[in-house]
A and B are shown apart, each in its own frame.
Chain A
């Protein structure tokens, strides 16, 4: 099966990178209350909601939540987040970025030097009569995404980002992030060559049927998503690819450890493995 590379790995990667030990999540009620002060809240109320995954602090119409495994953060204005306002979102990309940047700088949640602008997404609304004659679409918000840098190396994966949500009036109505704090340097590891990573990827997809196109190929530190505990920040190669097999297409992801020495698995066990079923 031929593989088409619409995206390619960088031709050069560093010969070695530092592996970091990550700090545990700051998710106790006192820690979340203290964190809420960064968003201008008093942090003095006793309105906490504890679920098995999240610690949430409520003050007025605001909620600050921290995930207990990953330390993922969510902040929302419950009256405005995700709500379609009367006016369309018309702020320019430049103004939108300025608002998000100012918010990150003011709240000091993360060092701004470690945040690189990635892209602006939008929440969008569509409405139509059933015949499609009165159809309108509009923008509701902007979600400005920043990705993380560690020692000038990009952080890839479902974590290592912050998204700031801005409403049409220019107000910040939400933020979410997965950005685990580094605790200490654990080790320096040699990086496997790009060619070796490509070989490993091509072995993994060798049985896939159809036309395979790699749409994303990156090197960097790999940060896990919101649901998962992570103790080490390690380098990895990431491949996101689509497969067209007749009329059916699908998309998948492979992550290959880039360090010659590794400290933890980059992929865990299936979360909800259904196992074998008895015949119906």
Chain B
């Protein structure tokens, strides 16, 4: 059984002021509920002011991810996000503990031998107009896959069920990439989901991207053995 942690932010009071979002709890908690409905374990559910930047920052860089995001198998983050021209993804928080954003260049997942799958339900999180390998390579420390979006992703009631739908299918041991792309694509809202997997070779990366399931038994790849990335999206 997999352990699951979720962090979501709808409200962004000063000093982390941003526009309010409405359905980040729906997507994150929906994912958690979908996984739990299939027998997996809810480890943490931190929302709004309880979601901390340090939960995502690596311990070696002053963070506390070893006790939170990097201590579960599956982590889900839902909030504002963006990847800048320096190829750094930032995820936004509603409280300054210790920063208003977590950054991809401060994240090292899997080096606690745990986090395998990271979901980022935020805009421009696997942004294909940027260099996604430059953004995320250092984050893959035995992390298997990232599930995210290119371009903007809708915050709305009509698309807010995607977290639950993906959680239900992922928790049911379905192919993770198919589940993510099926459940998060919306031609109507123009939501374009992307999955990205690391591999020791081109064939290995594609095989993991296309066939990995929760119980499929793919091993962890140490960072220095990663040679290729494969990604897939619908648009």
Binding site for B on A (CB under 8 A): 51-53, 81-84, 118-119, 121-130, 132, 134, 140, 143, 145, 156-158, 161, 163, 176, 208-210, 215, 224-227, 240, 242-243, 245, 247-253, 255, 267-268, 270-274, 277, 279-280
Residue numbers in A under 8 Å from B23 (CB-CB): 270
Q: Write the B19-40 contact mask toward A (1 if CB under 8 angstroms, else 0).
A: 1011101101110010001000
Nearest-CB residue, chain B, relative to A124: B233
Question: Are A127 and B202 in touch, CB under 8 angstroms?
Answer: yes
Tell me what chain B mostly uses at the interface: helix, strand, loop, or mixed.
Answer: mixed
Q: Please name 5 further chain A to chain B contacts, defined as beta carbons within 8 Å, in addition to the given A83-B210, A251-B152, A271-B160, sorted by A numbering.
A: A130-B137, A157-B158, A224-B158, A247-B84, A280-B49
- Flag B190-226 by CB within 8 Å of A: 1 or 0 each: 1000000000001001100010000000000000001
Chain B's closest residue to A245 (CB) is B19
- Measured as residues with beta carbon below 8 angstroms from the partner, the interface class of chain B is 35 or more
- Residues of B close to A243: CB separation below 8 A: 19
**Once the chains bind, are A121 and B234 in contact (CB under 8 Å)?**
yes
Q: Which of A52, A157, A227 contacts B188 (CB 8 A)?
A: A157
Q: Are A121 and B19 in contact (CB under 8 A)?
A: no
Residues of B within 8 A of A129 (CB): 202, 227-228
- B177 to chain A: closest residue by CB: A82
Please report the C-alpha to C-alpha distance between residue A122 and residue B80 in the assembled complex, in whole angstroms: 27
Least CB separation from A242: chain B residue? B152
Query: In the bound complex, do residue B187 and residue A161 qualify as a contact, i.e. CB atoms below 8 Å apart?
Result: yes
Given contacts A132-B133, A243-B19, A248-B18, contact A272 B186 (CB under 8 A): no
By a CB distance below 8 angstroms, the chain B residues around A83 are 210
Q: Which of A118, A176, A225 contacts B161 (CB 8 A)?
A: A225
In the complex, how many angstroms separate the beta carbon of B209 from the nearest chain A beta carbon?
Answer: 8
A205 → chain B closest CB, angstroms: 10
Cβ-defined contact, B48 with A277, below 8 A: yes
Q: Say yes or no: B164 contacts A240, CB within 8 Å.
A: no
Option from B18, B30, B168 in Cβ contact (under 8 Å) with A272: B30
With a CB–CB cut-off of 8 A, which chain B residues contact A225? 158-159, 161
- Chain B residues lying within 8 Å of A124, measured Cβ to Cβ, are 232-235
**Contact of B92 with A248 in the complex, beta carbons under 8 Å:** yes
CB<8 Å pairs between A and B, sample of 10:
A128-B229, A134-B202, A158-B158, A224-B158, A250-B123, A251-B153, A251-B154, A267-B157, A267-B158, A272-B30
